[in-house]
């Protein structure tokens, strides 16, 4: 539709429009995904461990590989990524001192992380970690995973991520080029 | 026996090592890709100790 025609006659925004060409300047496409755990995951002490998000809740671009827990964006640009996890209460022992670090991994390396300790004075029986960041993807080979590291200063024990989609998930949203 | 314990068995001087500092500064980084292969040494930049070989790790015991 010629621009002059739009100006001359106006556009009825309640009408349907079937564009067959490329529309630019209309905002970013709506691309997003979310994956969760299907079962609790044991995480060894002192190893940065990939969270096994193998339950794909939504994936508008079919870009998530549940077998490797990777999201490989097929659109280049900036993405908002978030990973969050809750530990089951049975594995967080009151009075123990933990160091915890959750990270967004790009191509297997940490690009953003968040660190927090669980002090011995904290007697809560559960604790969560989350990380959110804007990251760039080339739209072809770059992939993202969520990693988690913890160090138990008491027993050097493993901990368990809770498979509850309300609290443990990996999600991302395309922001734009 | 986890990977950290195996490494300490090979290098007892690492029993009191600051593993968190090592992880945060890419001195020693252990990983588990959750693919069933278990833990492995991803990065080893210790200034004086050589990275343990797989044979050494295998020799100090199973899981």
- The tokens 């930049």 sit on which residue? B45
Here the ipTM equals: 0.90
CB atoms within 10 A of CB B32: 23
Q: What is the pLDDT of residue B61?
A: 73
Q: Chain A: residue nearest B25 by CA?
A: A110
CB atoms within 10 A of CB B62: 6
**B61 CA: distance to closest CA in chain A (Å):** 17
Q: Please judge whether A46 and B35 are an interchain contact, meaning their C-beta atoms are less than 8 angstroms apart.
A: no
Of B2, B4, B23, the CB nearest to A48: B23
Q: Specify the DSSP class assigned to residue A87.
A: B
A3-45 pLDDT, tens digit each: 555 555 567 778 888 878 777 766 677 999 999 999 999 999 9
Instruction: Report the half-sphere exposure of B57 (CA within 13 A, side-chain side).
Output: 16
- Chain A interface disruption, residue of B23, B28, B43, most A CBs within 10 A: B23
CA-to-CA distance for B45 and B22, rounded, in angstroms? 9
Q: What is the DSSP string of B5-62?
A: HHHHHH-GGGTT--HHHHHHTTSEEEEE-SSSS-EEEEEE--SSSPPPPHHHHHHT--
Q: Using the predicted structure, report yes or no on whether residue A90 has a pLDDT greater than 60.
A: no
Asked if B35 has any chain A CB less than 8 Å from its own CB, the reply is yes
Q: Specify the DSSP class assigned to residue A168.
A: S
Compare A122 and B55 and report the one with higher pLDDT. B55
Q: What is the pLDDT of residue A155?
A: 76
Average pLDDT over residues A100-129: 81
pLDDT class of A64 with cuts at 50, 70, 90: very high
pLDDT class of B14 with cuts at 50, 70, 90: very high
Instruction: Report the half-sphere exposure of A93 (CA within 13 A, side-chain side).
Output: 10
Q: Please judge whether A52 and B20 are an interchain contact, meaning their C-beta atoms are less than 8 angstroms apart.
A: no
B15-48 pLDDT, tens digit each: 999 999 999 999 999 999 999 999 999 999 999 9
Average pLDDT over residues B54-59: 94
List the beta strands (DSSP E) in chain A.
32-36, 41-43, 48-50, 55-59, 64-65, 70-71, 77-86, 98-106, 109-118, 128-137, 144-152, 159-161, 169-176
pTM > 0.90: yes or no = no
Residue boundaries of the structural domains of chain A: 35-176
Asked if B48 has any chain A CB less than 8 Å from its own CB, the reply is no
Which residues of chain B are within 8 Å of residue A99 when distances are taken between CB atoms?
A: 20
Q: What is the pLDDT of residue A93?
A: 63
Average pLDDT over residues A97-121: 85
pLDDT class of A125 with cuts at 50, 70, 90: low
Average pLDDT over residues A105-121: 84
Q: What is the pLDDT of residue A17?
A: 80
Q: What is the pLDDT of residue A15?
A: 83
Q: What is the pLDDT of residue A118?
A: 67
Question: What class has domain A35-176?
Answer: mainly beta
Of B30, B34, B42, the CB nearest to A46: B30
Compare A141 and A124 and report the one with higher pLDDT. A141
**B7 CA: distance to closest CA in chain A (Å):** 12
Asked if A42 has any chain B CB less than 8 Å from its own CB, the reply is no
Mean residue pLDDT of chain A comes to 86
Identify the CA nearest to A127 among candidates A165, A84, A170: A84
Using CA atoms of A156, A162, A168, A169 in order, give the dihedral in degrees to the nearest 10: 100
CA-to-CA distance for B59 and B1, rounded, in angstroms? 12
Identify the CA nearest to A146 among candidates B32, B44, B22, B23: B32
């Amino acid at each position: 539709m010629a621009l002059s025609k739009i100006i001359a006659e106006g556009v009825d925004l309640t009408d349907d429009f079937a564009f067959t060409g490329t529309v630019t300047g209309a905002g970013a496409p709506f691309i997003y995904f979310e994956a969760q755990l299907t079962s609790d995951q044991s995480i060894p002490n002192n190893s940065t461990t990939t969270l096994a998000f193998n339950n794909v809740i939504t994936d508008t671009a079919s870009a998530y590989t549940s077998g490797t827990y990777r999201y490989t964006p097929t659109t280049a640009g900036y993405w908002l990524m978030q990973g969050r996890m809750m530990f089951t209460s049975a594995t967080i022992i009151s009075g123990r001192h933990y160091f915890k670090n959750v990270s967004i991994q790009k191509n297997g390396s940490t690009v953003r992380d968040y660190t927090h300790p669980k002090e011995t004075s904290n007697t809560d029986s559960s604790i969560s970690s989350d990380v959110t960041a804007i990251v760039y993807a080339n739209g072809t080979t770059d992939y993202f995973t969520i990693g988690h590291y913890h160090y138990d200063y008491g027993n050097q024990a493993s901990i368990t991520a809770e498979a509850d989609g309300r609290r443990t998930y990996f999600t991302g949203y395309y922001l734009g080029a | 026996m986890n990977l950290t314990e195996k490494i300490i068995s090979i290098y007892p001087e690492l029993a009191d090592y600051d593993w968190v500092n090592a992880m945060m500064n890419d001195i020693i980084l252990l990983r588990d890709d959750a693919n069933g292969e278990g833990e492995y040494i991803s990065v080893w930049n210790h200034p004086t100790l050589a990275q343990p070989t797989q044979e050494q790790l295998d020799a100090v015991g199973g899981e």
